[in-house]
Amino acid sequence: MTTPSSRETTSAFASLAQLVYTGNGPDDVLGAICRTAVEIIPGADHACISTLHKNQQLVTRAASDDVAALMDRLESEAHEGPCLDSIVEDSVQHDPDIRSNSKWPRLAELTLARSTVRGMLGYQLLDGLSGRAALNVFSETPDALTQESVDVGAVLAAFTSVALAAAEREASADNLRRGLHSNREIGKAVGLLMAAHKVGDEEAFQILRSASSRTNTKLADLAERINASHRDGLT
């Protein structure tokens, strides 16, 4: 694998930042990060981002390919590996050649029998995904994941943590904006019902809620329809 230039690496990070801050959801961001890991980390052939559930099973949130996803399953089966250790021990995990004296012997045995992976890296992601997640990088060439690979991957892992936090904040902001919009529509509809039926706000809200239940329509959607009908009547 050709080592990327600093310009290529900078460009990759710029593209990722653009992806995050234009409001793409976390899943799109995670997929892009896995693909970028393979592009910019020297020696990397596969990458995935995984979360650790309470049952100590890994769930693949995004992967560059099927090999990376397979490694999550093998690590869960072995109950050991770079992803698990990076999350539990809060440290970078690096085994450049699993063929000899691997720190994860059970995983190494499974990997050698069922995949082409020979080197591994794992980084805990400190923000986003509930703090129980890791970026995992795999190489098919023994000793291809060098100290330079570790350093570049650490920068990408740090970026990933920040990106996840930003993406989640954006999602929360979108939810808040939708909620505020819905509340305004409901408030306006309640006001119209108060005027139309000469009732107080509590009674008007009960009318709206009952109509929502009878018609199996979300409260906010029904309120918007009432307001739209009122606007149409004014034109």
Q: Are 164 and 26 in contact (CB under 8 A)?
A: yes
pTM: 0.67
Compute the residue count for the chain: 235
Pinpoint the alpha helices (H) of 95-200.
105-114, 147-197
Q: Is the pLDDT of residue 63 over 90?
A: yes
pLDDT band at 122 (very low <50, low <70, confident <90, very high): very high
Compute CA distances 119 → 17, 35, 44, 74, 233, whole Å: 28, 18, 9, 14, 69
What's the confidence (pLDDT) of residue 7? 59
pLDDT in tens, 96-115: 999 999 999 999 999 999 99
Domain regions of the chain by residue span:
6-172, 173-234
Q: How many CA atoms lie within 13 A of 6 on its CB side?
A: 0
Identify which has the larger pLDDT, 187 or 122.
122
Q: Are 66 and 48 in contact (CB under 8 A)?
A: no
Which has the minimum average pLDDT: 21-25, 30-34, 119-123, 125-129? 21-25
Q: What is the CATH number of domain 6-172?
A: 3.30.450.40
Q: Is the pLDDT of residue 176 over 50?
A: no
What's the confidence (pLDDT) of residue 6? 57
| Four-point Cα dihedral 186, 192, 198, 199, nearest 10 | 0
Identify which has the larger pLDDT, 87 or 168.
87
**Short-list 4, 78, 86, 73, CA closest to 38:** 4
Which has the minimum average pLDDT: 83-92, 133-142, 170-179, 222-231? 170-179
What's the confidence (pLDDT) of residue 123? 92
Q: Which CATH number fits domain 173-234: 1.10.10.10, 3.90.660.10, 3.40.50.720, 3.30.390.10?
A: 1.10.10.10
What's the confidence (pLDDT) of residue 4? 54
